[in-house]
Structure 1
Amino acid sequence: MTAQAGAQSVGHDLAELLPRDGKAWWKKPHLLSLNMMLFSAMMFSSAGGYDNSMMNGLQALEQWQVFMGHPVGAWLGFINAAQALGVIFGYPAMAYCADRWGRKRSVYYGVALLAVATGLQTGASSEAMFIVARFLVGTASAFFGAIPVLITETAFPTHRGKMTAGYNTLYYVGSLVSAWATFGTRNYTTSWAWRIPSVLQMLIPTISLPGFFLCPESPRWLINQGRTNEAREFFFKYHAGGDYQSPLVPFEMAEIEEALEAEKANHQSGSYADMIKTKGNRHRLFVSVALGIFAQWNGVGVVSYYLAAVLTTVGITSVTQQTLINGFLQLWNLFIAVSAASLVDRVGRRPLLILSSFGMLICYVIITGLSGSFASTQHAATGLAVIPMLFIYYGFYDIAFTPLLISYPAEIWQYQLRSRGIAVTFTSTMLALFFNLFVNPIALNAIAWKYYIVYVAILVLICFTAWFCFPETRGRSLEEIAVLFDGEDANIAPPGAVREAIELKMADKEAMHVENVKEA
């Protein structure tokens, strides 16, 4: 790790204290262990992706259509929206649980709920039972929202940006497994055509659970709970590799303690009301809400949950073709999203957001034109041309709105409001999604391709917002990002305070050592 590369990720002060031994992180046992445990935690994001892709695939299966009574319009929208409704109810509970009892316990509650939901959905004997199961799936996914907070507060400084951004990209691992599971069962003649994909909803969380069990609790949460020694031991073990002389640990400890004390001194209690008390928090709130809404109101909700309907409008009606396209689309999404997450520190958050917004706008204009042309001419080649444009559109979506939807809010909120900030973003996303899931099938049935024009207009607004309102967070430690929003009022240690705290602690340590020698 060079000083320049470290400064690019976390700023110069912290970068100066990072080890420069020339070893890759995977050759250091402490970082390899930490990252593997955090990767296990990241895999829980697959639950939401699995559900998304599964519902796309089930709509193409005649067995599911018969079981659910061939739902269309608002009824189909409600079936899909039940999951979003569960997320909306679950996120406030997650934020409270994560702050009160720890980030890890919130996830355990989510696993238990997901197991119940999977059992209900797989064994569903009625439409109502299936819908209740989907509601519980959404609630379980909400409790997994504590994981990006845990990653942000636990990862090694130079890994924080990429790992937090990587969390939401693994959403597509679930999408990929679900899409191909549905493709594999498409020719079953019984209800197991949709029950097998339903039971596999627990597959990835079950595999990930042992690794997550070993994962450490957030050191920032530990410090806020007064468990300072445990937090210090975490930093020595996983950030310093057992080197008790490392200056990195006292720096991190002092920076966090100073920030927490400053937040408390400014009467930040961690309530939702604090989000509107200061100009900086109001800016954070706007960014969090806007990012959450724009993540769904950019047209992705149409192709995510109603891909079968979109493909039907351009003449692709075969179940095999629809499920096959869905499978390859999820593989493409995973590749692009993971690639983009690896670039957040090199390229920056703001350029990715701007490129994503303008790229989606151009693609949606072309998709709208092609769909309209096919509706008029019924020319097969025109309809087929929509398919590669859907892939390109999703590529632009994935370079920012997949990796940054979670990681960006997790960075910009300070400790006391971080869990609630994530909750606000995802609640905004689910409210937008809940609206879309009702409106999209009705609009697609009523005006077909003309509905895409609405999203073209919204994408223009998204481009302006990304350009003027989203600041760059690259090159700062987690505590230093506050300066971008609060300026001189930022709740961080003033220049030199952290180093002074380190020097005092090192001096105290040396004095204790001398005293022990004298006594001996």
Structure 2
Amino acid sequence: MDIFVEHFGTQKADGSYEISSSQLSLMTSVINIGELLGSLTAAPLNDYLGRKGVFLIASIAIIIGVILQLVTDHNTSYIMGGRIILGYGVGNFSATSPLYIGLFVASFLCAGSLLFPFHKLLPPRSIVVPKEINSTVAYRVPMGIQVVFPVIVLAGLWWVPESPRWLLRKGKKESARKALVLVHRGEQYTPDEDLSVLQQDIDDESLKAAESSWMDLVRDPIERRKVVYSAGALIAQQINGIQWFYYFGTVFSKAIGLQDPFLMTLIVFIIQVVVVFVAVLFANSLPRRPLLLITTGLMTVSIFVVGCLGIPGNTPSPTIGKVIFAFIIIEITAFNFAWGPLGWTIASEMAVGRNRNKIYAISVGCFWITVWATVFTLPYLYYNANLGPKTGFVYTGLCFVSLSYVYFCVGEVTGRTMEEINGFFADGIPAKQWQHQPSLAERAANTHVKGDDEEKSAGSMQVEKGL
């Protein structure tokens, strides 16, 4: 998008324009600052305003952020300010949407929530426009299209029910009843049982909150292990180089000599949508450890090959560029089939026990910090350190960190209850042995059988004594 570089870059001695690595780093990564703030403030906003209130604030924030970017054609301050505000809205959505969806599709989420990754698709990171356009339309269309999603949310916000759980917390039992009836509209449904279950859950949460402590996450080895497993999932998800292609796909494809850099953006986006959809349908039925080990291995090999192909020079030939692009496709496909959805699922499942909310809050914070650090450092590695495609070697090393996390920290917990997972942590059972542990029902049955055997044994002894 040469017109964007001309408008927001600096002129060089030869009359051409460029965006320096420091400018590129800041303009790209500031959105993650907003996303971090949005995700951290979502919890108190949800408590005070409810889910619909947060959706309202998030939608308005995204619209304001987009408008700030559209009103300027030379001022980078407006671009960065707009991206921070837009990111704040995205952070609100990313932290609140799973909570809201989970209220109405709880059975699906308990099987393993794969709905988390959809916040990555909305608003879209980029929209393809014809490369021949050489006016502000070339970058204002991709920016402006991001208002579509929040406008749709605002238009439908009046018609969707508020969270019944939040309404019960506020003492609005009748409103909670109406919300449940609205969700089950057209069915023969009586909300009394669900209201009782929700109220019991709220009471249990209150008891756990009274026992919860931030210092436990540091001092208690069991709680500390939960933090490592939960936050580690989202850190391992992001350090494998995937943001290189999401945030800098157009810039990178141009650097490796592809004829139409925007084609890569389109292909990446289509693959992301299609593979995430397939993952939602099938990935949760597959064993997680081998799935993550295989896909992370594929990503490691792909990013390593990209680095190797950059050894002859930082400006590859068109043929080498196409080979690099092929391995990028492998990387993106592997990521979106496994790490994309499962990273969020694992982080949520590992946050169990009395400190569940605190552990998950730390995990989400670690996610946005990791994304920001990755996006901020990429231009410096690629340009200032003069690594070019050899930046792939850096992420190859980090992929081994992700592999280590999978080997030591990922267990098979599909179909397990939170109480069972909490028990694994309390008993100090290694993650790779979780699959072979009996369920609570099996333990109860074994205990019952053992009790019967002991009673029979005691009865036999009494008979022997009588004889």
The two structures share one fold, judged by TM-score above 0.5: yes
> What are the superposed Cα offsets for residues 389-420 of structure 1, whole Å, 9 maximum, x if unpaired?
11111011101222234343344435986665
Q: Label 1:102 to 1:404 Cα distance change in 2 as closer, same or farther (>3 A).
A: farther
Matched, 1:172 2:121: yes
In 2: Cα distance, 1:406 partner to 1:158 partner: 15
2:368 to 400, 405, 430: 430
Deviations 1:261-315 (A, max 9, x none): 4443344477755644655543332233222322321111222222234334433
User: Is contact 1:313–1:371 with CA below 8 Å preserved after alignment?
Assistant: no
- TM-score under structure 2 length normalisation: 0.78
Contact kept, 8 Å, 1:367 with 1:389, in 2: the verdict is yes
Contact in 2 for aligned 1:83/1:137 (Cα 8 Å): yes
1:396 equivalent to 2:299? Answer no
Change (3 A) 1:300 1:268: farther
In structure 2, what is the equivalent of residue 138 of structure 1? 87
Do 1:174 and 1:204's aligned partners in 2 also have CA atoms closer than 8 Å?
yes
1:386 Cα deviation after fit: 1.2
The equivalent residue for 1:286 is 228
Residue 114 of structure 1: how far off its partner (Å): 1.1
Residue deviations 1:116-148, cap 9 Å, x none? 111111112511111111111111111112111
Moved over 6 A (4+): none
Percent identity, aligned pairs only, is 19
SS in 1 for 2:414: coil
Is this contact kept in 2: 1:74–1:439, CA < 8 A? Answer: no
Alignment of 1:224-235 (within 5 A): 224-227=169-172, 231=176
Match of 1:296 among 214, 227, 238: 238
Alignment-mate amino acid for residue 135 of structure 1: I
Asked whether 1:66 is paired with 2:11, we answer: no
Answer yes or no: is 1:122 the counterpart of 2:67. Answer: no
Q: State the secondary structure of the residue aligned to 1:326.
A: helix
Q: Which amino acid aligns with 1:198?
A: M
Instruction: State the SS of the aligned residue for 1:455.
Output: helix
CA contact (8 A) 2:302 2:327 kept: yes
* 1:459 corresponds to 2:404: no
Displacement of 1:462 = 0.7
**Corresponding residue for residue 336 of structure 1:** 275
Judging changes above 3 Å, is the alpha-carbon distance between structure 1 residues 415 and 213 closer, same or farther for their aligned structure 2 residues? farther
Range moving further from structure 2, 85-94 or 139-148: 85-94
Counterpart of 2:382? 444
Within the candidate set 87, 100, 105, 1:155 is matched to 105
Q: Please tell me whether residue 265 in structure 1 is matched to residue 190 in structure 2.
A: no
Structure 2 CA distance for partners of 1:469 and 1:314, relative to 1, 3 Å: same
Q: Which residues of structure 2 form unaligned runs of 5+?
A: 10-17, 429-439, 443-467
Who is 1:347 aligned against? 286
What is the total number of aligned residue pairs between the two structures? 419
Name which structure has the greater RCO, CA cutoff 8 Å, separation 6+. 1
* Closer/same/farther in 2, CA of residues 343 and 225 from structure 1, 3 Å limit: farther
Q: Of the two, which has the highest radius of gyration?
A: 2
Structure-2 residue corresponding to 1:110 = 58
Residues of 1 paired with 2:358 and 2:59: CA distance?
Answer: 21
* Shift in CA distance, 275/227, structure 1 to aligned 2, threshold 3 Å: farther
Structure 1 121/152 Cα, relative in aligned 2: closer, same or farther at 3 Å? Answer: same
CA contact (8 A) 2:256 2:317 kept: no
Amino acid in structure 1 at the alignment position of 2:75: S
Structure 2 residue 302 is matched with structure 1 residue 363: yes
Q: TM-score, normalised by structure 1?
A: 0.71
Alpha-carbon offset, residue 256 of structure 1? 5.1
Shift in CA distance, 102/470, structure 1 to aligned 2, threshold 3 Å: farther
Deviation at 1:68, TM superposition (A): 1.0
Structure 1, unpaired ranges of 5+: 1-60, 489-493, 497-520
Q: Which AA in structure 2 matches 1:338?
A: F
Alignment of 1:497-512 (within 5 A): none
Measure the CA separation in 2 of the matches of 1:308 and 1:102: 39
- Mean Cα deviation higher: 278-287 or 66-75: 278-287
2:434 matches 1:474: no
**Relative to structure 1, is the Cα distance of residues 290 and 158 closer, same or farther in structure 2, using a 3 angstrom cutoff?**
closer
- Aligned CA RMSD, in angstroms, stands at 3.4
Q: Shift in Å at residue 223 of structure 1?
A: 4.3
Cα 1:453–1:275 change in 2 (3 A) is same
Partner of 2:27: 79
